[in-house]
Amino acid sequence: MMTVIDTAPRTAPADATTSPPRAGLPSLAGLSRARLLAALAELGLPEREQRMRAAQLWHWIYLRGVTSFDEMTNVGKGLRARLAERFTLARPEVVVEQVSADGTRKWLLRLPPEIAGDRPHDVEMVYIPESDRGTLCVSSQVGCTLNCSFCHTGTQRLVRNLTAAEIVAQVMVARDRLGDYPGATRATGPGLPTEGDRLLTNIVFMGMGEPLYAYDSVAESIEILADGEGLGIGKRRITVSTSGVVPEIERLGREVGPMLAISLHAVRDELRDELVPINKKYPLKQLLEACRTYPPVSNAKRITFEYVMLKGVNDSPADARALVRLLAGIPAKINLIPFNPWPGTRYECSDWETIEQFSDIVFRAGYSSPVRTPRGRDILAACGQLKSETERLSARERLALRAMAAAE
């Protein structure tokens, strides 16, 4: 079990970087260039000026991470005042911030309702630091409609797609909290990357939701995140994980071109139908064909196949051999994920020896170090443990989880 240095959820201080949106005013943080232009047109700026101003705003918002129009020193005072009358640069409010002993950080964000009067939704995101990179796991939906039998998010009733701006804002909040903008005070603490000049370098769409069911938002957000004059997280550093929405896989590759991860979890249709029910609609043969023909795929841009290790369910040596056979011919990486238990689940994580045996077979077939180390377990930040505030765990569930973690 991990030593916990700070697991007590704390309410983040209401400083400038986390101040909630001012009632009624829309935020420009997270908008695409096209939407920024539209906002400037709304202000009545002449068309020839709009493009130049949009480029300035882009620089300040995404490259510098400013939270106030007054910091935009090359924008005239008059225009700054007009911008501030109509817009803000507010991010979603951070309601809880937790730091794990291994440096993993988890934030619960409150998204203002899309329609005035609706209730706000909460989403979680997780930052996983390593020595040479920092990966942010972002959510694409509140909840998920897909009900994979081993996933906690799938038990959440409430679902809506996030907007592109809400996805981008997750990255901006993480950079705010980490001080990961040029000239900002960088976060310190155990586990943070020591190589390179950025703390947040990679994005994985592996939080709440099925990204390919929120296709438009995800595609738009990736273009914003990858822009070299802004947040600058290139498409090779952005991975979209899908349970297998086959028709959207080809489209994602052709139109956007990020890295792809597939939640495989089973090598036979019968079992995959049970674990990942979307398999009934798009069975393995179709899924693997979509992978084989995924536009950006190459030996340098391999597809990651995620495989959760469930005791006695999908973890036999025969399964491992079948997995290797199934992926033959696809430039692939295999990621074995120890199952993260949650209260009420009928599954258990495979024993360590079983995982090692499975991983040896995969390793001998030419795939390197395939086991994903669980990160941030002490703050429930691991895969499949994300669940939002709107459906918070009951006190009993929380106790049960702590007991499970302690028993490891």
**Interacting residue ranges for ligand SF4, rule: CB under 6 A:** 144, 146-148, 151, 153-154, 209-210, 243, 263
Cβ(226)–Cβ(202) under 8 Å? Answer: no
In the list 138, 383, 401, 405, the residue contacting ligand SAH (rule: CB under 6 A) is 383
Nearest residue to 153 (alpha-carbon basis) of 84, 241, 70, 238? 241
User: 161 or 263, CB closer to ligand SF4?
Assistant: 263
| Residue of 124, 166, 210, 220 with catalytic role | 124
Distance CA 217, CA 253 (A): 15
User: 217 or 241, CB closer to ligand SAH?
Assistant: 241
Tokens of 347: 């599954």
By CB under 6 A, tell whether 384 contacts ligand SAH: yes
Q: How many CB atoms lie within 10 A of CB 267?
A: 20
Tokens of 351: 């024993």
By CB under 6 A, tell whether 210 contacts ligand SAH: yes
User: 180 or 248, CB closer to ligand SAH?
Assistant: 248
User: 57 or 349, CB closer to ligand SAH?
Assistant: 349
Return the amino acid letter for 33: R
Catalytic status, residue 383: yes
Nearest-approach distance from CB 230 to ligand SAH, in angstroms = 25
Distance CA 361, CA 323 (A): 10
In the list 181, 339, 358, 367, the residue contacting ligand SAH (rule: CB under 6 A) is 339
By CB under 6 A, tell whether 308 contacts ligand SAH: yes
What is the C-alpha end-to-end distance of the chain, expressed in Å? Answer: 6
User: 68 or 145, CB closer to ligand SF4?
Assistant: 145
Return the amino acid letter for 293: T
User: 32 or 155, CB closer to ligand SF4?
Assistant: 155
Query: Nearest residue by C-beta to ligand SAH?
Result: 384
Distance CA 372, CA 158 (A): 29
Owner of token pair 């996805």: 167
In the list 135, 161, 314, 340, the residue contacting ligand SAH (rule: CB under 6 A) is 340
By CB under 6 A, tell whether 233 contacts ligand SAH: no
Cβ(74)–Cβ(156) under 8 Å? Answer: no
By CB under 6 A, tell whether 239 contacts ligand SAH: no
Cβ(305)–Cβ(333) under 8 Å? Answer: yes
For 55-171, where are the E strands, in sequence order?
Answer: 93-99, 105-111, 121-130, 133-137, 141-142, 160-161
Nearest-approach distance from CB 114 to ligand SAH, in angstroms = 21
Distance CA 13, CA 341 (A): 32
| Residue of 144, 151, 291, 383 with catalytic role | 383
DSSP code at position 403: H
Nearest-approach distance from CB 128 to ligand SAH, in angstroms = 13
By CB under 6 A, tell whether 294 contacts ligand SAH: no
Active site amino acids:
124, 383
The residues of the shown chain that bind ligand SAH, judged by CB under 6 A, are: 144, 148, 150-152, 206, 210, 241-243, 263, 306, 308, 337, 339-340, 383-384
